[in-house]
Amino acid sequence: MDIRSEGRRYPRIPVLLDAPSDPEPVRVARVVDGDTVALAGGERIRLYGIDAPEKEQARGAEATQALESLVSVAPGSTVLLRRYGMDGYGRTLGGLTLEGREGEDYLNHEMIRRGWAWAYSKPHDRVKPPRAYINDQLAARLEHRGLWQDLFPQNPADFRAERRNRSAAAPKPARKRRRHRAKKPDRSGSDSE
């Protein structure tokens, strides 16, 4: 929820740890979208340092399928999770690696390598992707991999901003006005004349 004061909206600010946690094995229940998974216990993990298209956005379904194929979501898929903190929506920011794979945050990085996510960077939020993410995003773009097959793919942050602006500009439904009825005259025939 945004914090509102006197009509102003304040952004949701992530809370980052000073250093990522040690990897811990977790079970993936399902892939929510191209940059979020749900764990068996219900906890949602937002992949740290990447931003994939939204489900309703062009290439969003394909980005979700790409992450599903990487996680190999079979009942109870196990991955290693490194926690970086919490985002402004209460999701854990994390890096996921398949057991037996080399490299930190393999799944996060692989989504960028394959061209299904942007390297997510918000300096005011202290979210800075590794330099390798930025380099691999450029390589994916030059080689037209994933969402970079489109000439001008829309950044998910821009898509979300447009969606917010459309909903804010939409006319609010008119409130129904209650009609006050005049009292009907008493016609019971009991005149006192």
Q: Just list the catalytic residues.
A: 46, 54, 91
**For residues 16 and 26, what is the distance between their CA atoms, to the nearest angstrom?**
20
Nearest to 82 by CA among 69, 92, 90, 74: 92
